[in-house]
């Protein structure tokens, strides 16, 4: 009975917390509370689509919304972040995370796409923006093609209020996939825009693929 009571309390609290996450910012800017959301996962998991869904919804609520992306990512249109299903939203390409601070001050909500390519300072920048009342939504790859934590994403996951790990479908077996296996043997950490060079795999299929890769080297 005691356990039931505690878990009931927990879920009540959890439910309230979750519900807050989906309320758009309201009230005047001075009293506004900021926070950080992270949307992460492998390639083909729909991170950018999820980022855009959240930003577009805020846009409908007349909030000022802007997406930042690293200049290294030439895959996207100059002025728009385009997810693979061609949903577009206004965006700004910046060379370093500090540049985000300069452009974000008038925003209610900001998105950061392909955040794994930003410098380590991104965590500090997002924290400062959230402290100043801005809702910050960060999307990016949580692991590189070797399955190692990628760039500033792990740190952002630690300081964020909300973390959503989204999954692709494993091309090996159809389970949920969280790894981005690189099929090409080129040495760049990530071949930008070369999504055909990668395949989403589950843990088991990824381990097998790494073994097979090692044999062929």
Positions in the binding site for Zn ion (CB under 5 A):
170, 172-173, 175, 202, 205
Cα–Cα distance between 132 and 52 in angstroms, integer?
Answer: 22
From 138, 165, 168, select the one nearest 153 (Cα to Cα). Answer: 138
Cα–Cα distance between 137 and 38 in angstroms, integer?
Answer: 6
Nearer to Zn ion, 8 or 173 (CB): 173
Which residue in 37, 50, 114, 199 is the catalytic one?
114
Least CB distance from residue 44 to Zn ion, whole Å?
A: 13
Nearer to Zn ion, 119 or 175 (CB): 175
| CA 84 from centroid of its chain's CA atoms | 15
Least CB distance from residue 183 to Zn ion, whole Å?
A: 15
Sign of the C-alpha dihedral, residues 94, 97, 99, 103?
positive
Least CB distance from residue 4 to Zn ion, whole Å?
A: 37
Cα–Cα distance between 108 and 96 in angstroms, integer?
Answer: 21
Nearer to Zn ion, 156 or 202 (CB): 202
Is 186 in the active site?
no
Q: Which residues are catalytic?
A: 114
């Amino acid at each position: 009975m005691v356990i039931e009571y505690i878990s009931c309390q927990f879920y009540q609290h959890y439910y309230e917390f979750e519900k807050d996450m989906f309320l758009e910012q309201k009230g005047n800017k001075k009293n506004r509370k900021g926070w950080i959301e992270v949307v992460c996962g492998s390639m083909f998991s729909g991170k950018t689509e999820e980022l855009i869904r959240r930003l577009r919804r805020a846009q409908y609520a007349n909030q000022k919304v802007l997406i930042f992306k690293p200049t290294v990512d030439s895959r996207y249109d100059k002025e728009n972040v385009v997810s693979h299903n061609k949903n577009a939203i206004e965006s700004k390409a910046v060379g370093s995370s500090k540049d985000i601070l300069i452009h974000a001050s008038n925003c209610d909500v900001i998105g950061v796409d392909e955040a794994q390519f930003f410098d380590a300072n991104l965590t500090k920048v997002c924290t400062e923006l959230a402290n100043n009342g801005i809702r910050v939504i960060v999307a990016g790859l949580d692991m590189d093609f070797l399955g190692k934590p990628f760039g500033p994403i792990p740190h952002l996951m630690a300081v964020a209020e909300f973390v959503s790990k989204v999954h692709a479908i494993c091309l090996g077996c159809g389970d949920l996939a969280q790894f981005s296996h690189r099929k090409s043997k080129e040495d760049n950490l990530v071949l930008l825009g070369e999504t055909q060079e990668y395949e989403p795999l589950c843990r088991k299929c990824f381990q097998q693929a790494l073994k097979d890769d090692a044999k062929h080297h």
